[in-house]
A and B are shown apart, each in its own frame.
Chain A
Amino acid sequence: MAQNILRQAAEAQFAQEIEEIKKQDKHTRPENWLLSPHAVVTYLMGGKLGNGFDVSPKYIGNRRLMEIAVATLTTDRALLLYGLPGTAKSWVSEHISAAISGDSGLVIQGTAGTGEDSVRYGWNYAQLLSAGPVPEAIVETPVMRGMKEGKIVRVEELTRIGSDVQDSLITILSEKMLPIPELNTKVMAVRGFNMIATANNRDKGVNDLSSALKRRFNTVILPVPETIEEEVEIVQQRVASFSKSIDLPVEKPILEEINRIVTVFRELRNGVSTDGKTKLKSPSGTLSTAEAISVMNSGLSLAYHFGDASLKADDLASGLIGAIIKDPVQDKIVFQEYMETVLKQRDGWKDIYRACREII
């Protein structure tokens, strides 16, 4: 694949790792799986292989959650990853399908406008008009392809899809079969087919799953990182891979800055300062780890393109404020309070306080 691709798919980016794990994999593989369940968990959580090869961790957090997720896919239930925005749901789903099927590209992005023809199958109308309903006139969806090839299909933001469209998944998930009444035929799923859906539980106005559909999913809730160390590690790893992929030379060790950003996010999210002494208001945004990562990334870009290539508080401030202040009135008050009561008082944090002060 061409080198100038902005972001490689997981199976391409980690092709070597998957290959090495496959070589070492001694456990039995379910049919049409690239790796054994055990090896999939190893791929996700990282570790050293028998031959000394280092597998990088993709998910930093509770191993048991990944075990439940992978074990679910070996049963005939589909997997629903549930959680706040930015808790690595899509990230995990991408990597699991990459490790199991070697293909993370069978994705349906759920929106309010997702129709049944993007879940089941659509028609090539030119063909349909000229030749009538023939198999060639059918436009396959990722679901249909996944069923035919025995691969994992991903549905992003399942709860944004309208309820009637959601329910068209029921037959597919329980009977593993997709009827095409127009042709009086059906597509039967090949072993290895399953589905990973993601949904977030923060947004309002989404379509809750019907209980019939709920029953087809095992649910794993992905939590926000438990400790600050865990969160810093996640941000650090993702920022490093970002700067590598867009060729940003990072001069100064940025761990310290990551620590500060994560601390700010955690304090605001938890509504209390790290030392437990100051009670804080929480802003309306979720302040997820993913947002902390993007604050760091935009800070790095700013520093590289407009600054002297070393990360400074000024570079981070605008991103920080953009992530925190989602509601221009309420959140601004919240953040100003935070600046005055926490940032200003903290030793060595004067630069970030001043940088924020300038923008607000």
Chain B
Amino acid sequence: MSVHLLGIRHHGPGSSRHVLNALSEIQPDVVLIEGPPEGEAMLSWATHADMQPPVALLGYVPDNPQQAVFYPFTLHSPEWNAILYALRNQVPVRFIDMPLAHGFAIEWQETASNIDTSEFTEQVRKNPISYLAEIAEFDDPEEWWEHRFEIVQQPYEVFEAIAESMTALRQALPERNDRRGGDRRGSDRRGSDRREEIREAFMRKSIRIAQKEGFERIAVVCGAWHVPALMHLPKQKEDDLLLKNLPKTKVESTWIPWTNDRMAFESGYGAGVESPGWYMHHWQHPDDHGTLWLSHTAHVFRANHVDISSAHIIEAVRLAGALAGLRGLSRPGLKELNEATVAVMCMGEPLLMKVIYRELIVGKAFGQIPEGTPQVPLQRNLEALAKRFRIKIIPEQKTLKLDLREENDLQKSILLHRLQLLDINWGTMEAVSGKGTFKEEWTLRWYPELTINLLEKAPWGNTVDEAAAKYLENKAKKCARLDEITPLVQTAIPADLPTALGAVMRKMDELAATTSDISMLMDAFTPLAQVSRYGNVRRTDRESIDLIMTTIFYRIIAGLPAGCTGIDDEQAAEMTQKIREVNQAIQMLEKQELTEAWTTTLRTIFHSDRTAPFIQGYSCKALYDSRLLEMDSTFNAFAKALSPNNEPSASANWLEGFLNDAATVLILDDVIWDVVNDWLQSLDDATFLQVVPLLRRTFANFSNVEKRKIAGRARQGKSGTSSPQTIDIDPQRAAQVLPILELLMGIK
């Protein structure tokens, strides 16, 4: 009976080769792999024809999917190759790490502060092989691994050597701990230390079980770091003590597609790789001395409009070779190849390497998992929908332009809106140029993490439709204020969830009835008005919206005049802004009943002496704009508001409300101009001096161009006296120019 410990570097192609060689030599009758036992059930999928790494084994707590952990595998991962070997040779394969059920349940304390957290410890823990490589003055751990161990003929000797070096490293660690942490070990140990101990105890336990079951040749594939802990099995009692009474939680697992740029993600093993694309190349073409890699590099450059000739490739290969020779390497590594690329192809400018880094060194590969892999129903539904709409769920950025008048596009839009509602931000809506509400532009990009959000929403329903509706209803139910529910309406309508929208509306009505805050009501009104006016593109149920909109509107009308009294300047300005929005919405709705009611209210506000002056000024202007106030009355109101007997600040506010954002009106509208102009001229010197500060305050808000234009107009005096129409024109002479003008303007 023999136990063979194969210490590896996660995702290392060199490790993979050694593991495969060792396995075919050992001919094990059981393969044990560092991985979560919960994932064992999923292993059979690995050999499925449609399984395309990189993929990740995802373990999560169904009640709280944010508690999740990924174990990524790619083609050159030693674990992946060990799994494939075992499945193809019909050898039982087991995962022997600590079950996630415990991993999630135990709260690991990371509080101790006086323990050595130096870079040394951190680096050795995370990536012991890279540490050793650094001692040997290698930049690339894989390169070191290859150089150090390739020459050894017996693959198994490689692992013995690795075990020895790890043992040495591990022995070096506690010494450092002791020196800094003093003698207070044990209770003070970091959570991650305890976690490691428990993990290794679990691994030992699994090895013991395999031995008891009578397996003859046991192969264990685990991170090199753990090898020393598994070499000598301590008494079973010690481990059992460590594993006693561990808390537990429910865990589920599944496969999800993974991407190369997330291979660096530290999850599961706590070790990632920075250049998965390069390792993949290394794995697929172990004999490449740079020719193939640099040809790929040249292709990427050419695709990005950098001219690279074959001569460049030849020179780069030579330089990389010369560099490797100079550094005493048997062949160029990634560093040498990159340096050769910079010197030969990029004129020494490393900036261009960014594109190589993105496309080659990291690589754009993304995985695929076979259909029928166990998934939560919501996930399956989303995939079916995506398939139906021919949108691929891939981690690449893509732009989607939708014309909502097309049934198919409308459905796509609805799906994306529903997902947004569920906080699964696969698509982000972009601002669309051009007119019309029937166009939408989305930028799609799937992130593996979105799967977690999806799992999190799984309890809400088995289809996207159902989950979104229930989630929305629940959210609406929890709303306690009108301004919380208003944004929900805006998200619910494009998601086309009639039943849920009904619930949201009912809740909205309820909240509107109890709210006395006019400004909140006004906030709720504007989006509803917009939907009511333009909602027909989406064929939303308008009647119920109209009903609620109307009730909210009357509530506003009832409270508004009172709401405009007894407020300070700041609130008045805010209120005016909202009144303006409602005013616009009313004009847009073009409903006579509402318009009449609204103007009556405006008049009430205008005529009330208790209305805040700012609002009064605005309402005067609004009424004048709608031609509901004669010029005389406007003039009178103006003069009255600005008469010297008034409180100066009140006059200033009134004027600001009246002329707020209205410089253009002042420049172009003769009537308003005359009103202001006449009023100014009617003032005697003493009064004028008094109101000058007020005027300055209002005019200060205008832009320089506007001010200059106003000044220019003021120089001309009263409108009409010197306007262009009164210039003497000789019609006969003017007529002579007309044919040429017509010719110029292409009228004929």
The residue in chain B whose Cβ has the minimal distance to the Cβ of A79 is B343
Which of these, A37, A211, A220, contacts B343 with CB under 8 Å?
A220
Determine whether A112 belongs to the interface, using a CB cutoff of 8 Å to chain B. Answer: no
Q: Are A75 and B343 in contact (CB under 8 A)?
A: no
Q: Do A71 and B326 contact each other (CB < 8 Å), given the known contacts A215-B312, A218-B343?
A: yes
User: In the bound complex, how far is the Cα of B343 from the Cα of A70, in angstroms?
Assistant: 12
Q: Are B348 and A37 in contact (CB under 8 A)?
A: no
Q: Which residues of B contact A72 (CB under 8 A)?
A: 319, 322, 343
The residue in chain B whose Cβ has the minimal distance to the Cβ of A36 is B326
Q: Do A219 and B347 contact each other (CB < 8 Å), given the known contacts A37-B326, A41-B326, A67-B326?
A: yes
User: In the bound complex, how far is the Cα of B315 from the Cα of A214, in angstroms?
Assistant: 13
Shortest Cβ gap from A268 to chain B (Å): 25
Q: Are A71 and B323 in contact (CB under 8 A)?
A: yes
Q: Which residues of B contact A38 (CB under 8 A)?
A: 326, 328
Q: Are A77 and B344 in contact (CB under 8 A)?
A: yes
Determine whether A82 belongs to the interface, using a CB cutoff of 8 Å to chain B. Answer: yes
Q: Do A219 and B319 contact each other (CB < 8 Å), given the known contacts A37-B326, A67-B327?
A: no
Shortest Cβ gap from B54 to chain A (Å): 31
Q: Which residues of A contact B327 (CB under 8 A)?
A: 67
Residues of chain A from 220 to 235 with CB closer than 8 A to chain B in the complex: 220-221
Q: Which residues of B contact A220 (CB under 8 A)?
A: 343, 348
Q: Do A75 and B348 contact each other (CB < 8 Å), given the known contacts A64-B339, A219-B343, A220-B343?
A: no
Q: Are A68 and B339 in contact (CB under 8 A)?
A: yes
Which of these, A68, A77, A214, contacts B323 with CB under 8 Å?
A68
Shortest Cβ gap from B347 to chain A (Å): 5
Q: Which residues of B contact A75 (CB under 8 A)?
A: 315, 318-319, 322
Determine whether B740 belongs to the interface, using a CB cutoff of 8 Å to chain A. Answer: no
Q: Which residues of B contact A219 (CB under 8 A)?
A: 343, 346-349
User: In the bound complex, how far is the Cα of B328 from the Cα of A14, in angstroms?
Assistant: 26
Determine whether B717 belongs to the interface, using a CB cutoff of 8 Å to chain A. Answer: no
Q: Which residues of A contact B335 (CB under 8 A)?
A: 64
Q: Which residues of A contact B311 (CB under 8 A)?
A: 215
Determine whether B325 belongs to the interface, using a CB cutoff of 8 Å to chain A. Answer: yes
Determine whether A236 belongs to the interface, using a CB cutoff of 8 Å to chain B. Answer: no
Shortest Cβ gap from A227 to chain B (Å): 19
Q: Are B349 and A218 in contact (CB under 8 A)?
A: no
Contact with B along A56-79 (1 / 0, CB 8 A): 000000001001101110111100
Among A37, A75, A219, A220, chain B packs the most CB atoms within 10 A around the CB of: A75
Determine whether B309 belongs to the interface, using a CB cutoff of 8 Å to chain A. Answer: yes
Shortest Cβ gap from A6 to chain B (Å): 33
Q: Are B326 and A221 in contact (CB under 8 A)?
A: no
Q: Are A70 and B326 in contact (CB under 8 A)?
A: yes
User: In the bound complex, how far is the Cα of B326 from the Cα of A71, in angstroms?
Assistant: 7
Shortest Cβ gap from A174 to chain B (Å): 9
Shortest Cβ gap from A29 to chain B (Å): 12
Q: Which residues of A contact B344 (CB under 8 A)?
A: 77, 218
Q: Are B323 and A67 in contact (CB under 8 A)?
A: yes
User: In the bound complex, how far is the Cα of B736 from the Cα of A310, in angstroms?
Assistant: 93
Q: Which residues of B contact A215 (CB under 8 A)?
A: 309, 311-312
Residues of chain A from 26 to 53 with CB closer than 8 A to chain B in the complex: 37-38, 41
Shortest Cβ gap from A2 to chain B (Å): 37
Q: Which residues of A contact B347 (CB under 8 A)?
A: 82, 214, 219
User: In the bound complex, how far is the Cα of B327 from the Cα of A67, in angstroms?
Assistant: 8
Shortest Cβ gap from A87 to chain B (Å): 12
User: In the bound complex, how far is the Cα of B325 from the Cα of A76, in angstroms?
Assistant: 16
Q: Which residues of A contact B307 (CB under 8 A)?
A: 211
Q: Which residues of B contact A211 (CB under 8 A)?
A: 307
Residues of chain B from 318 to 361 with CB closer than 8 A to chain A in the complex: 318-319, 322-323, 325-328, 335, 339-340, 343-344, 346-349
Among B307, B309, B322, B327, chain A packs the most CB atoms within 10 A around the CB of: B322
User: In the bound complex, how far is the Cα of B322 from the Cα of A74, in angstroms?
Assistant: 7
Residues of chain A from 74 to 127 with CB closer than 8 A to chain B in the complex: 74-77, 80, 82
Q: Do A68 and B319 contact each other (CB < 8 Å), given the known contacts A41-B326, A218-B344?
A: yes
Q: Are A218 and B323 in contact (CB under 8 A)?
A: no
Shortest Cβ gap from B137 to chain A (Å): 11
Shortest Cβ gap from B336 to chain A (Å): 9
Q: Which residues of B contact A71 (CB under 8 A)?
A: 319, 322-323, 325-326
Shortest Cβ gap from A103 to chain B (Å): 22
Shortest Cβ gap from A152 to chain B (Å): 16
Shortest Cβ gap from A160 to chain B (Å): 18
Q: Which residues of A contact B349 (CB under 8 A)?
A: 219, 221
Q: Are A77 and B326 in contact (CB under 8 A)?
A: no
Q: Which residues of A contact B322 (CB under 8 A)?
A: 37, 71-72, 74-75
Which of these, A68, A70, A77, A221, contacts B315 with CB under 8 Å?
A77
Q: Which residues of B contact A67 (CB under 8 A)?
A: 323, 326-327
Among A41, A67, A80, A218, chain B packs the most CB atoms within 10 A around the CB of: A218
User: In the bound complex, how far is the Cα of B311 from the Cα of A67, in angstroms?
Assistant: 22
User: In the bound complex, how far is the Cα of B709 from the Cα of A237, in angstroms?
Assistant: 69
Which of these, B319, B328, B348, contacts A77 with CB under 8 Å?
B319
Residues of chain B from 238 to 291 with CB closer than 8 A to chain A in the complex: none
The residue in chain B whose Cβ has the minimal distance to the Cβ of A67 is B326
Q: Which residues of B contact A76 (CB under 8 A)?
A: 318
Among A70, A74, A80, A214, chain B packs the most CB atoms within 10 A around the CB of: A74
Q: Which residues of B contact A41 (CB under 8 A)?
A: 326
Q: Which residues of B contact A82 (CB under 8 A)?
A: 347-348
The residue in chain A whose Cβ has the minimal distance to the Cβ of B307 is A211
User: In the bound complex, how far is the Cα of B349 from the Cα of A214, in angstroms?
Assistant: 13
User: In the bound complex, how far is the Cα of B335 from the Cα of A70, in angstroms?
Assistant: 16
Q: Which residues of B contact A64 (CB under 8 A)?
A: 335, 339
Among A38, A71, A219, chain B packs the most CB atoms within 10 A around the CB of: A71
Q: Which residues of B contact A77 (CB under 8 A)?
A: 315, 318-319, 344
The residue in chain A whose Cβ has the minimal distance to the Cβ of B344 is A218
Q: Which residues of A contact B328 (CB under 8 A)?
A: 38
User: In the bound complex, how far is the Cα of B332 from the Cα of A71, in angstroms?
Assistant: 12
Q: Which residues of B contact A80 (CB under 8 A)?
A: 348
Q: Are B315 and A218 in contact (CB under 8 A)?
A: yes
Q: Which residues of A contact B312 (CB under 8 A)?
A: 215
Task: Add 8 more A-B contacts to A67-B323, A68-B340, A219-B348 (CB < 8 A).
Answer: A68-B319, A74-B322, A77-B315, A77-B344, A215-B311, A215-B312, A218-B343, A218-B344
What are 26 A-B residue pairs whose CB atoms fall within 8 Å in the complex?
A37-B322, A37-B325, A37-B326, A38-B328, A41-B326, A67-B323, A68-B323, A68-B343, A71-B323, A72-B322, A72-B343, A74-B325, A74-B326, A75-B315, A75-B318, A77-B318, A80-B348, A211-B307, A218-B315, A218-B319, A218-B344, A219-B346, A219-B347, A219-B348, A220-B348, A221-B349
Interchain residue pairs A-B with the least CB separation, the first 8: A219-B348, A71-B322, A221-B348, A218-B343, A75-B318, A71-B323, A74-B322, A219-B347
